[in-house]
Structure 1
Amino acid sequence: MQGQSADPVARPRRTRRPRGHAVRLRHHRQPPVLLNRRPIGHPPLPFSGEHAPPDLLRGAAVAPVETAADSRTPCAASDLLDRVGSWGPTATPAGMFHLVPVQVERDLCLVGRWMNDPAVAAFWELAGPWSMTARHLRRQLADDGRSVPCLGVLEGRPMSYWEIYRADLDPLACHYPARPHDTGIHLLIGGDADRGRGLGSRLLRAVADLVLDRRPACARVVAEPDLRNTASIATFLSAGFRFLAEADLPTKRAALMVRDRVPCDLS
Protein backbone atom coordinates (compact mmCIF):
# COMPACT_ATOMS: atom_id res chain seq x y z
CA MET A 1 0.00 0.00 0.00
CA GLN A 2 1.97 2.93 -1.24
CA GLY A 3 0.64 6.31 -2.17
CA GLN A 4 -2.63 5.44 -3.85
CA SER A 5 -2.22 1.67 -3.51
CA ALA A 6 -3.75 -0.81 -1.13
CA ASP A 7 -5.21 -0.86 2.38
CA PRO A 8 -2.51 -2.09 4.26
CA VAL A 9 -0.07 -4.25 2.34
CA ALA A 10 2.50 -4.52 5.10
CA ARG A 11 5.22 -6.60 3.54
CA PRO A 12 8.90 -5.84 2.82
CA ARG A 13 9.97 -5.32 -0.77
CA ARG A 14 12.79 -7.47 -2.05
CA THR A 15 14.68 -4.75 -3.93
CA ARG A 16 16.84 -2.05 -2.44
CA ARG A 17 15.16 1.33 -2.60
CA PRO A 18 16.93 4.68 -2.99
CA ARG A 19 17.65 6.44 0.26
CA GLY A 20 15.91 9.73 -0.73
CA HIS A 21 14.06 11.96 1.69
CA ALA A 22 11.91 10.12 4.20
CA VAL A 23 8.26 11.12 4.40
CA ARG A 24 7.54 13.10 7.53
CA LEU A 25 5.31 11.15 9.85
CA ARG A 26 2.85 13.99 10.15
CA HIS A 27 1.41 12.59 6.92
CA HIS A 28 0.25 9.51 8.81
CA ARG A 29 -2.87 11.41 9.83
CA GLN A 30 -4.18 11.06 6.31
CA PRO A 31 -6.97 8.47 6.13
CA PRO A 32 -5.81 5.09 4.87
CA VAL A 33 -6.06 4.82 1.10
CA LEU A 34 -6.63 1.69 -0.97
CA LEU A 35 -4.34 -0.36 0.15
CA ASN A 36 -4.44 -25.41 5.04
CA ARG A 37 -5.20 -26.38 7.24
CA ARG A 38 -8.68 -26.36 8.65
CA PRO A 39 -8.70 -25.31 12.32
CA ILE A 40 -9.55 -28.20 14.61
CA GLY A 41 -13.25 -28.31 15.34
CA HIS A 42 -14.25 -26.09 12.41
CA PRO A 43 -15.83 -27.32 9.13
CA PRO A 44 -14.14 -26.69 5.78
CA LEU A 45 -14.68 -23.19 4.45
CA PRO A 46 -16.87 -23.01 1.33
CA PHE A 47 -14.18 -21.79 -1.07
CA SER A 48 -15.82 -23.26 -4.13
CA GLY A 49 -14.04 -22.32 -7.31
CA GLU A 50 -10.87 -21.36 -5.47
CA HIS A 51 -9.07 -24.69 -5.67
CA ALA A 52 -5.81 -24.76 -7.60
CA PRO A 53 -5.71 -27.13 -10.60
CA PRO A 54 -4.19 -30.50 -9.56
CA ASP A 55 -1.81 -30.45 -12.52
CA LEU A 56 -0.34 -27.16 -11.30
CA LEU A 57 0.20 -28.55 -7.82
CA ARG A 58 1.92 -31.59 -9.33
CA GLY A 59 4.10 -29.48 -11.63
CA ALA A 60 7.86 -29.66 -11.47
CA ALA A 61 8.04 -26.02 -10.43
CA VAL A 62 6.41 -26.68 -7.08
CA ALA A 63 6.99 -29.19 -4.33
CA PRO A 64 4.78 -32.28 -4.19
CA VAL A 65 1.45 -31.75 -2.51
CA GLU A 66 2.18 -34.26 0.23
CA THR A 67 4.93 -32.66 2.30
CA ALA A 68 5.78 -32.90 5.95
CA ALA A 69 4.23 -29.49 6.45
CA ASP A 70 1.02 -30.51 4.72
CA SER A 71 0.66 -33.55 6.98
CA ARG A 72 0.88 -31.61 10.23
CA THR A 73 -2.12 -30.33 12.11
CA PRO A 74 -2.41 -26.53 12.45
CA CYS A 75 -1.78 -26.71 16.19
CA ALA A 76 1.35 -28.82 15.85
CA ALA A 77 2.69 -26.42 13.20
CA SER A 78 2.01 -23.37 15.32
CA ASP A 79 3.36 -24.14 18.79
CA LEU A 80 5.78 -21.20 18.66
CA LEU A 81 2.74 -18.95 18.22
CA ASP A 82 0.40 -20.60 20.72
CA ARG A 83 -1.63 -22.49 18.13
CA VAL A 84 -2.97 -19.82 15.82
CA GLY A 85 -5.29 -22.38 14.22
CA SER A 86 -7.17 -22.81 17.47
CA TRP A 87 -7.68 -19.11 18.27
CA GLY A 88 -11.17 -19.10 16.85
CA PRO A 89 -13.29 -16.18 15.58
CA THR A 90 -13.31 -12.73 17.11
CA ALA A 91 -15.92 -9.97 16.96
CA THR A 92 -15.00 -6.78 15.05
CA PRO A 93 -17.02 -3.68 14.10
CA ALA A 94 -17.18 -5.16 10.59
CA GLY A 95 -18.45 -8.58 11.73
CA MET A 96 -17.01 -11.89 12.94
CA PHE A 97 -13.43 -12.35 11.81
CA HIS A 98 -11.41 -15.56 11.80
CA LEU A 99 -7.74 -16.28 11.06
CA VAL A 100 -7.72 -19.62 9.24
CA PRO A 101 -4.29 -21.23 8.63
CA VAL A 102 -3.60 -21.62 4.93
CA GLN A 103 -4.00 -24.97 3.22
CA VAL A 104 -2.11 -24.85 -0.06
CA GLU A 105 -4.36 -27.22 -2.00
CA ARG A 106 -7.45 -25.26 -1.02
CA ASP A 107 -6.18 -21.67 -1.01
CA LEU A 108 -3.48 -21.38 -3.67
CA CYS A 109 -5.78 -20.08 -6.41
CA LEU A 110 -7.25 -17.38 -4.19
CA VAL A 111 -3.95 -16.20 -2.68
CA GLY A 112 -2.24 -16.41 -6.06
CA ARG A 113 -4.90 -14.19 -7.60
CA TRP A 114 -4.42 -11.61 -4.84
CA MET A 115 -0.65 -11.68 -5.35
CA ASN A 116 -1.17 -10.82 -9.01
CA ASP A 117 -3.22 -7.73 -8.18
CA PRO A 118 -0.95 -4.78 -9.09
CA ALA A 119 -1.74 -3.02 -5.78
CA VAL A 120 -0.46 -6.09 -3.91
CA ALA A 121 2.33 -7.10 -6.29
CA ALA A 122 4.10 -3.78 -5.79
CA PHE A 123 4.83 -4.78 -2.20
CA TRP A 124 4.84 -8.57 -2.04
CA GLU A 125 6.53 -9.13 -5.42
CA LEU A 126 4.95 -12.55 -5.85
CA ALA A 127 3.10 -11.80 -9.07
CA GLY A 128 3.45 -14.43 -11.75
CA PRO A 129 2.75 -18.17 -11.93
CA TRP A 130 0.97 -19.65 -8.95
CA SER A 131 4.09 -21.77 -8.40
CA MET A 132 5.74 -18.64 -6.94
CA THR A 133 2.96 -18.26 -4.39
CA ALA A 134 3.00 -22.01 -3.69
CA ARG A 135 6.72 -21.92 -2.91
CA HIS A 136 6.25 -18.91 -0.65
CA LEU A 137 3.46 -20.62 1.30
CA ARG A 138 5.23 -23.97 1.54
CA ARG A 139 8.42 -22.39 2.82
CA GLN A 140 6.46 -21.08 5.77
CA LEU A 141 4.46 -24.26 6.29
CA ALA A 142 7.65 -26.33 6.18
CA ASP A 143 9.25 -24.17 8.88
CA ASP A 144 9.03 -24.85 12.61
CA GLY A 145 5.94 -22.73 13.19
CA ARG A 146 7.63 -19.37 13.68
CA SER A 147 5.46 -17.94 10.87
CA VAL A 148 1.88 -19.00 10.19
CA PRO A 149 0.21 -17.90 6.93
CA CYS A 150 -3.54 -17.38 7.32
CA LEU A 151 -6.61 -16.34 5.41
CA GLY A 152 -8.60 -13.58 7.05
CA VAL A 153 -12.25 -14.68 6.87
CA LEU A 154 -14.84 -11.98 7.54
CA GLU A 155 -18.42 -13.16 8.07
CA GLY A 156 -17.54 -16.44 6.33
CA ARG A 157 -15.85 -14.73 3.36
CA PRO A 158 -12.07 -15.01 2.79
CA MET A 159 -10.96 -11.44 2.04
CA SER A 160 -7.40 -10.96 3.31
CA TYR A 161 -4.07 -12.72 3.78
CA TRP A 162 -2.06 -12.53 7.01
CA GLU A 163 1.27 -13.79 8.26
CA ILE A 164 1.60 -14.01 12.03
CA TYR A 165 5.25 -14.52 12.92
CA ARG A 166 7.70 -14.54 15.81
CA ALA A 167 9.50 -11.24 15.31
CA ASP A 168 12.03 -12.11 18.01
CA LEU A 169 13.06 -15.19 15.98
CA ASP A 170 13.04 -13.34 12.66
CA PRO A 171 15.95 -11.45 11.01
CA LEU A 172 13.95 -8.32 11.88
CA ALA A 173 15.16 -8.79 15.47
CA CYS A 174 18.63 -7.64 14.39
CA HIS A 175 17.22 -4.22 13.53
CA TYR A 176 15.36 -3.23 16.69
CA PRO A 177 15.51 -3.97 20.45
CA ALA A 178 13.48 -7.17 20.25
CA ARG A 179 11.91 -8.73 23.32
CA PRO A 180 11.08 -12.40 23.84
CA HIS A 181 7.84 -13.44 22.16
CA ASP A 182 7.45 -10.23 20.14
CA THR A 183 4.87 -11.11 17.47
CA GLY A 184 4.90 -9.60 13.98
CA ILE A 185 2.15 -9.09 11.42
CA HIS A 186 2.21 -8.93 7.62
CA LEU A 187 -1.10 -8.45 5.83
CA LEU A 188 -2.85 -7.62 2.62
CA ILE A 189 -6.48 -6.87 1.82
CA GLY A 190 -7.45 -9.01 -1.13
CA GLY A 191 -10.15 -7.18 -3.08
CA ASP A 192 -10.80 -3.64 -4.27
CA ALA A 193 -14.22 -3.57 -2.60
CA ASP A 194 -12.61 -4.04 0.83
CA ARG A 195 -10.00 -1.33 0.42
CA GLY A 196 -10.00 2.34 1.18
CA ARG A 197 -12.83 2.37 3.73
CA GLY A 198 -11.01 1.85 7.02
CA LEU A 199 -11.58 -1.90 7.12
CA GLY A 200 -7.84 -2.58 7.33
CA SER A 201 -7.36 -0.61 10.55
CA ARG A 202 -10.41 -2.23 12.19
CA LEU A 203 -9.22 -5.73 11.38
CA LEU A 204 -5.64 -4.92 12.32
CA ARG A 205 -6.75 -3.69 15.73
CA ALA A 206 -8.82 -6.86 16.21
CA VAL A 207 -5.93 -9.13 15.21
CA ALA A 208 -3.49 -7.31 17.50
CA ASP A 209 -6.01 -7.70 20.34
CA LEU A 210 -6.33 -11.38 19.46
CA VAL A 211 -2.56 -11.92 19.50
CA LEU A 212 -2.20 -10.28 22.91
CA ASP A 213 -5.16 -12.22 24.29
CA ARG A 214 -4.11 -15.64 22.98
CA ARG A 215 -0.38 -15.21 23.58
CA PRO A 216 0.05 -14.32 27.27
CA ALA A 217 3.86 -14.32 26.99
CA CYS A 218 3.75 -11.72 24.22
CA ALA A 219 3.96 -8.10 25.38
CA ARG A 220 4.16 -6.43 21.96
CA VAL A 221 2.88 -6.77 18.41
CA VAL A 222 5.23 -5.27 15.81
CA ALA A 223 5.18 -4.36 12.13
CA GLU A 224 7.59 -2.76 9.68
CA PRO A 225 5.79 -0.92 6.83
CA ASP A 226 7.82 1.03 4.32
CA LEU A 227 8.61 4.48 5.70
CA ARG A 228 7.31 6.11 2.52
CA ASN A 229 4.02 4.24 2.74
CA THR A 230 2.15 6.91 4.68
CA ALA A 231 -1.23 5.22 4.17
CA SER A 232 0.00 1.98 5.74
CA ILE A 233 1.57 3.87 8.65
CA ALA A 234 -1.73 5.68 9.18
CA THR A 235 -3.55 2.36 9.28
CA PHE A 236 -1.26 1.00 11.98
CA LEU A 237 -1.56 4.20 14.01
CA SER A 238 -5.35 4.02 13.74
CA ALA A 239 -5.17 0.44 15.02
CA GLY A 240 -3.38 1.48 18.23
CA PHE A 241 0.23 1.04 17.13
CA ARG A 242 2.89 3.67 17.82
CA PHE A 243 5.94 4.65 15.81
CA LEU A 244 9.07 3.26 17.47
CA ALA A 245 11.93 4.09 15.11
CA GLU A 246 13.20 4.06 11.55
CA ALA A 247 15.21 1.04 10.48
CA ASP A 248 17.33 0.21 7.45
CA LEU A 249 16.26 -3.31 6.54
CA PRO A 250 17.92 -5.26 3.72
CA THR A 251 15.02 -4.50 1.36
CA LYS A 252 13.71 -1.10 2.49
CA ARG A 253 13.79 1.71 4.98
CA ALA A 254 11.01 0.86 7.41
CA ALA A 255 8.90 2.46 10.08
CA LEU A 256 8.94 0.15 13.08
CA MET A 257 5.44 0.14 14.55
CA VAL A 258 4.61 -1.33 17.96
CA ARG A 259 1.36 -2.17 19.71
CA ASP A 260 2.03 -2.59 23.44
CA ARG A 261 0.06 -4.82 25.76
CA VAL A 262 0.24 -2.01 28.33
CA PRO A 263 -0.13 1.38 26.61
CA CYS A 264 3.12 3.30 26.64
CA ASP A 265 3.16 6.73 28.33
CA LEU A 266 4.37 9.06 25.59
CA SER A 267 4.13 12.24 27.66
Structure 2
Amino acid sequence: MPSTEASTDTGTGPGTSPHEAVEDTLDLRLSDELVTLLGSGGPGGSDVSGGSCGRNAASAPPGGPTTGDLLDTPARWGPVATAAGVFQLVPVHMERDLALISGWMNDPAVAAFWHLAGAPERTEAHVRPQLDGDGRTLPCLGVLDGVPMSYWELYRADLDPLARHYPARPHDTGIHLLLGGVANRGRGVGTVLLRAVADLVLDHRPRCARVVAEPDLRNTPSVAAFLGAGFRFAAEVDLPDKRAALMVRDRALRDLL
Protein backbone atom coordinates (compact mmCIF):
# COMPACT_ATOMS: atom_id res chain seq x y z
CA MET A 1 0.00 0.00 0.00
CA PRO A 2 2.27 2.83 -1.13
CA SER A 3 1.40 5.92 0.80
CA THR A 4 2.55 9.33 1.81
CA GLU A 5 6.15 8.26 1.69
CA ALA A 6 9.53 9.37 0.38
CA SER A 7 11.12 11.62 2.96
CA THR A 8 8.57 14.39 3.19
CA ASP A 9 10.08 16.42 6.03
CA THR A 10 10.14 16.63 9.78
CA GLY A 11 7.69 18.14 12.18
CA THR A 12 6.25 17.78 15.64
CA GLY A 13 2.80 17.54 17.05
CA PRO A 14 0.67 16.10 19.81
CA GLY A 15 0.14 12.33 19.97
CA THR A 16 -2.85 10.32 21.12
CA SER A 17 -2.67 6.86 22.61
CA PRO A 18 -3.78 4.15 20.19
CA HIS A 19 -6.50 2.99 22.60
CA GLU A 20 -8.03 6.46 22.97
CA ALA A 21 -7.77 7.25 19.27
CA VAL A 22 -9.33 4.03 18.01
CA GLU A 23 -12.08 4.05 20.63
CA ASP A 24 -13.67 7.15 19.10
CA THR A 25 -13.98 5.51 15.66
CA LEU A 26 -16.15 2.57 16.55
CA ASP A 27 -19.46 4.04 15.31
CA LEU A 28 -19.04 2.41 11.88
CA ARG A 29 -21.92 3.03 9.48
CA LEU A 30 -22.23 2.06 5.84
CA SER A 31 -22.57 4.92 3.39
CA ASP A 32 -24.96 4.69 0.45
CA GLU A 33 -21.95 4.50 -1.89
CA LEU A 34 -20.45 1.59 0.03
CA VAL A 35 -23.73 -0.30 0.01
CA THR A 36 -23.96 0.22 -3.76
CA LEU A 37 -20.36 -0.87 -4.33
CA LEU A 38 -20.74 -3.94 -2.15
CA GLY A 39 -23.82 -4.88 -4.14
CA SER A 40 -21.78 -4.69 -7.34
CA GLY A 41 -18.91 -6.80 -6.07
CA GLY A 42 -17.30 -4.45 -3.56
CA PRO A 43 -13.86 -2.87 -3.50
CA GLY A 44 -11.25 -4.89 -5.36
CA GLY A 45 -9.04 -6.96 -3.15
CA SER A 46 -6.08 -7.68 -5.40
CA ASP A 47 -3.05 -5.46 -5.01
CA VAL A 48 -1.64 -3.44 -7.86
CA SER A 49 2.09 -2.79 -8.26
CA GLY A 50 3.58 -1.63 -5.01
CA GLY A 51 0.89 -3.18 -2.81
CA SER A 52 -1.73 -0.47 -3.16
CA CYS A 53 -5.00 -1.55 -1.59
CA GLY A 54 -6.87 -2.90 -4.58
CA ARG A 55 -7.17 0.34 -6.55
CA ASN A 56 -7.84 -1.26 -9.90
CA ALA A 57 -10.30 -1.09 -12.74
CA ALA A 58 -11.59 -4.58 -11.99
CA SER A 59 -13.28 -3.20 -8.89
CA ALA A 60 -15.51 -0.86 -10.90
CA PRO A 61 -19.19 -1.74 -11.23
CA PRO A 62 -20.28 -3.51 -14.44
CA GLY A 63 -20.49 -1.17 -17.39
CA GLY A 64 -17.40 0.87 -16.59
CA PRO A 65 -16.73 3.80 -14.23
CA THR A 66 -19.66 5.29 -12.39
CA THR A 67 -20.96 8.69 -13.42
CA GLY A 68 -21.08 9.97 -9.84
CA ASP A 69 -18.15 11.85 -8.35
CA LEU A 70 -17.08 10.04 -5.21
CA LEU A 71 -14.46 12.69 -4.37
CA ASP A 72 -16.41 15.88 -5.12
CA THR A 73 -14.37 16.91 -8.16
CA PRO A 74 -10.86 17.83 -6.95
CA ALA A 75 -10.11 19.20 -10.44
CA ARG A 76 -12.39 22.14 -9.61
CA TRP A 77 -10.94 22.97 -6.22
CA GLY A 78 -8.53 25.55 -7.64
CA PRO A 79 -5.27 26.97 -6.28
CA VAL A 80 -4.62 27.95 -2.68
CA ALA A 81 -2.01 30.23 -1.14
CA THR A 82 0.38 28.50 1.26
CA ALA A 83 3.55 29.45 3.10
CA ALA A 84 5.46 27.53 0.42
CA GLY A 85 3.74 29.26 -2.54
CA VAL A 86 0.58 28.93 -4.60
CA PHE A 87 -0.41 25.28 -4.68
CA GLN A 88 -2.90 23.34 -6.81
CA LEU A 89 -3.88 19.72 -7.34
CA VAL A 90 -4.05 18.84 -11.04
CA PRO A 91 -5.43 15.41 -12.04
CA VAL A 92 -2.84 13.23 -13.76
CA HIS A 93 -2.94 12.98 -17.55
CA MET A 94 -1.09 9.77 -18.34
CA GLU A 95 0.46 10.74 -21.68
CA ARG A 96 1.61 14.08 -20.30
CA ASP A 97 2.77 13.04 -16.84
CA LEU A 98 4.00 9.44 -16.94
CA ALA A 99 7.67 10.21 -17.58
CA LEU A 100 7.78 12.74 -14.74
CA ILE A 101 6.07 10.48 -12.21
CA SER A 102 8.14 7.46 -13.24
CA GLY A 103 11.30 9.49 -12.78
CA TRP A 104 10.27 10.31 -9.23
CA MET A 105 9.46 6.66 -8.54
CA ASN A 106 13.05 5.79 -9.45
CA ASP A 107 14.50 8.07 -6.80
CA PRO A 108 15.88 5.66 -4.16
CA ALA A 109 14.22 7.62 -1.33
CA VAL A 110 10.85 7.19 -3.03
CA ALA A 111 11.39 3.63 -4.24
CA ALA A 112 12.13 2.46 -0.69
CA PHE A 113 8.46 2.95 0.20
CA TRP A 114 6.51 3.02 -3.07
CA HIS A 115 8.27 0.02 -4.66
CA LEU A 116 7.63 1.27 -8.22
CA ALA A 117 11.18 1.76 -9.48
CA GLY A 118 11.85 0.48 -12.97
CA ALA A 119 10.48 1.13 -16.44
CA PRO A 120 7.66 3.67 -16.90
CA GLU A 121 5.31 0.79 -17.61
CA ARG A 122 5.52 -0.20 -13.96
CA THR A 123 4.34 3.21 -12.82
CA GLU A 124 1.66 3.18 -15.50
CA ALA A 125 0.38 -0.16 -14.22
CA HIS A 126 -0.10 1.49 -10.83
CA VAL A 127 -1.65 4.78 -11.99
CA ARG A 128 -3.81 3.87 -14.99
CA PRO A 129 -6.23 1.57 -13.13
CA GLN A 130 -6.99 4.49 -10.83
CA LEU A 131 -7.75 6.74 -13.81
CA ASP A 132 -9.90 4.05 -15.43
CA GLY A 133 -11.63 2.96 -12.23
CA ASP A 134 -14.90 3.95 -10.62
CA GLY A 135 -13.75 7.28 -9.18
CA ARG A 136 -12.98 6.26 -5.62
CA THR A 137 -9.34 7.30 -6.10
CA LEU A 138 -7.74 10.13 -8.08
CA PRO A 139 -4.02 10.53 -8.82
CA CYS A 140 -2.90 14.16 -9.05
CA LEU A 141 0.19 16.23 -9.58
CA GLY A 142 0.92 18.83 -6.94
CA VAL A 143 1.83 22.06 -8.72
CA LEU A 144 3.65 24.69 -6.65
CA ASP A 145 4.06 28.16 -8.17
CA GLY A 146 3.39 26.63 -11.58
CA VAL A 147 5.91 23.79 -11.24
CA PRO A 148 4.84 20.12 -10.86
CA MET A 149 6.73 18.95 -7.77
CA SER A 150 4.76 16.19 -6.05
CA TYR A 151 2.47 13.25 -6.68
CA TRP A 152 -0.75 12.73 -4.72
CA GLU A 153 -3.46 10.12 -4.52
CA LEU A 154 -6.77 11.15 -3.00
CA TYR A 155 -9.05 8.22 -2.26
CA ARG A 156 -12.24 7.29 -0.48
CA ALA A 157 -10.81 5.39 2.47
CA ASP A 158 -14.25 4.09 3.44
CA LEU A 159 -14.61 2.48 0.00
CA ASP A 160 -11.02 1.21 -0.11
CA PRO A 161 -9.65 -2.12 1.16
CA LEU A 162 -7.95 0.00 3.85
CA ALA A 163 -11.39 0.07 5.52
CA ARG A 164 -10.88 -3.62 6.36
CA HIS A 165 -8.06 -2.61 8.67
CA TYR A 166 -9.55 0.23 10.72
CA PRO A 167 -13.06 1.33 11.80
CA ALA A 168 -13.84 3.53 8.82
CA ARG A 169 -16.55 6.17 8.78
CA PRO A 170 -18.58 7.17 5.72
CA HIS A 171 -16.71 9.64 3.48
CA ASP A 172 -13.33 9.23 5.18
CA THR A 173 -10.84 10.56 2.63
CA GLY A 174 -7.30 9.24 2.33
CA ILE A 175 -4.09 10.89 1.16
CA HIS A 176 -0.92 9.42 -0.35
CA LEU A 177 1.98 11.78 -1.13
CA LEU A 178 5.48 11.82 -2.49
CA LEU A 179 7.65 14.88 -2.94
CA GLY A 180 9.38 14.60 -6.28
CA GLY A 181 12.38 16.84 -5.83
CA VAL A 182 15.14 16.56 -3.24
CA ALA A 183 15.13 20.35 -2.87
CA ASN A 184 11.60 20.22 -1.43
CA ARG A 185 12.41 17.65 1.23
CA GLY A 186 13.57 18.25 4.77
CA ARG A 187 12.57 21.91 4.99
CA GLY A 188 8.90 21.80 5.94
CA VAL A 189 7.32 21.83 2.48
CA GLY A 190 5.64 18.46 3.00
CA THR A 191 4.07 19.62 6.26
CA VAL A 192 2.73 22.80 4.65
CA LEU A 193 1.26 20.96 1.67
CA LEU A 194 -0.25 18.15 3.75
CA ARG A 195 -2.12 20.73 5.80
CA ALA A 196 -3.19 22.56 2.66
CA VAL A 197 -4.52 19.43 0.96
CA ALA A 198 -6.30 18.25 4.11
CA ASP A 199 -7.93 21.69 4.31
CA LEU A 200 -8.95 21.44 0.66
CA VAL A 201 -10.61 18.10 1.34
CA LEU A 202 -12.47 19.38 4.38
CA ASP A 203 -13.50 22.60 2.63
CA HIS A 204 -14.81 20.91 -0.52
CA ARG A 205 -16.11 17.64 0.89
CA PRO A 206 -18.62 18.74 3.56
CA ARG A 207 -19.67 15.14 4.26
CA CYS A 208 -16.08 14.17 5.11
CA ALA A 209 -15.36 14.40 8.83
CA ARG A 210 -11.84 12.94 8.71
CA VAL A 211 -8.81 12.88 6.46
CA VAL A 212 -6.68 9.78 6.99
CA ALA A 213 -3.31 8.41 5.90
CA GLU A 214 -1.21 5.31 6.57
CA PRO A 215 2.51 6.01 6.17
CA ASP A 216 4.97 3.25 6.90
CA LEU A 217 5.96 3.36 10.57
CA ARG A 218 9.60 3.22 9.50
CA ASN A 219 9.24 6.49 7.62
CA THR A 220 9.63 8.76 10.61
CA PRO A 221 10.01 11.98 8.54
CA SER A 222 6.64 11.26 6.91
CA VAL A 223 4.92 10.55 10.23
CA ALA A 224 6.43 13.72 11.69
CA ALA A 225 5.20 15.74 8.71
CA PHE A 226 1.65 14.52 9.32
CA LEU A 227 1.86 15.44 13.00
CA GLY A 228 3.08 18.90 12.06
CA ALA A 229 0.19 19.25 9.60
CA GLY A 230 -2.48 18.74 12.28
CA PHE A 231 -2.96 14.98 12.03
CA ARG A 232 -3.01 12.82 15.14
CA PHE A 233 -1.54 9.37 15.53
CA ALA A 234 -4.53 7.03 15.95
CA ALA A 235 -3.05 3.53 15.92
CA GLU A 236 -0.55 1.10 14.46
CA VAL A 237 -2.16 -0.92 11.66
CA ASP A 238 -0.95 -4.14 10.06
CA LEU A 239 -1.49 -3.83 6.30
CA PRO A 240 -0.67 -6.46 3.66
CA ASP A 241 2.74 -4.99 2.86
CA LYS A 242 3.72 -2.90 5.88
CA ARG A 243 3.04 -1.88 9.45
CA ALA A 244 1.55 1.57 9.18
CA ALA A 245 0.85 4.56 11.36
CA LEU A 246 -2.82 5.45 11.03
CA MET A 247 -2.88 9.25 10.94
CA VAL A 248 -6.16 11.16 11.25
CA ARG A 249 -7.05 14.82 10.82
CA ASP A 250 -10.45 15.49 12.31
CA ARG A 251 -12.73 18.23 11.04
CA ALA A 252 -13.72 18.95 14.65
CA LEU A 253 -10.08 19.51 15.65
CA ARG A 254 -8.81 21.29 12.52
CA ASP A 255 -8.58 24.68 14.23
CA LEU A 256 -6.86 23.25 17.31
CA LEU A 257 -4.05 21.16 15.78
8 A contact 1:137–1:149 mirrored in 2 = yes
Percent identity for Structure 1 against Structure 2? 70
Q: Which runs of 5+ in 2 are unaligned?
A: 10-14, 17-65
Aligned pairs (5 A) from 1:93-104: 93-104=83-94
Residue 176 of structure 2: aligned partner: 186
CA radius of gyration, larger in: 1
TM-score (norm 2): 0.73
- Out of 141, 158, 161, the position equivalent to 1:168 is 158
Separation in 2, partners of 1:183, 1:258: 10
Residue 224 in structure 1 maps to residue 224 in structure 2: no
Q: Which amino acid aligns with 1:83?
A: T
Counterpart CA distance in 1 for 2:124 and 2:157 is 23
Partner of 2:8: 7
Looking at structure 1, the residues matched to 181 and 216 of structure 2 have their Cα atoms a distance apart, in angstroms, of: 21
- Residues 181, 190 of structure 1: CA spacing in aligned structure 2 closer, same or farther, 3 A cutoff? same
Q: Given the alignment of the two structures, is residue 152 of structure 1 paired with residue 151 of structure 2, yes or no?
A: no
Q: CA deviation at 1:91?
A: 1.1
The residue identity in structure 1 corresponding to 2:234 is L
Q: What is aligned with 2:188? A: 198
Structure 1 SS opposite 2:252: coil
1:57 counterpart residue number: none
**Maintained 8 Å contact 2:72/2:205:** yes
Pairing 1:1-267 to 2, within 5 Å after superposition: 6-7=7-8, 79-263=69-253
Moved over 4 A (4+): none
The CA distance in 1 between the partners of 2:219 and 2:119, in whole Å, is 27
Contact 2:179 2:185 in 1 (8 A): yes
Q: Distance in 2 between matches of 1:169 and 1:262?
A: 22
Equivalent residue letter for 1:116: N
Does the CA-based 8 Å contact 1:78-1:146 persist in structure 2?
A: no
Over 3 Å counting, the alpha-carbon distance change for 1:78 and 1:212 in structure 2 is: farther
Structure of higher RCO (CA pairs closer than 8 Å, 6+ residues apart): 2
TM-score, normalised by the number of residues in structure 1: 0.71
Equivalent residue, structure 2, for 1:51: none
Counting matched residue pairs gives: 199
- How far is 1:77 from its partner? 7.3
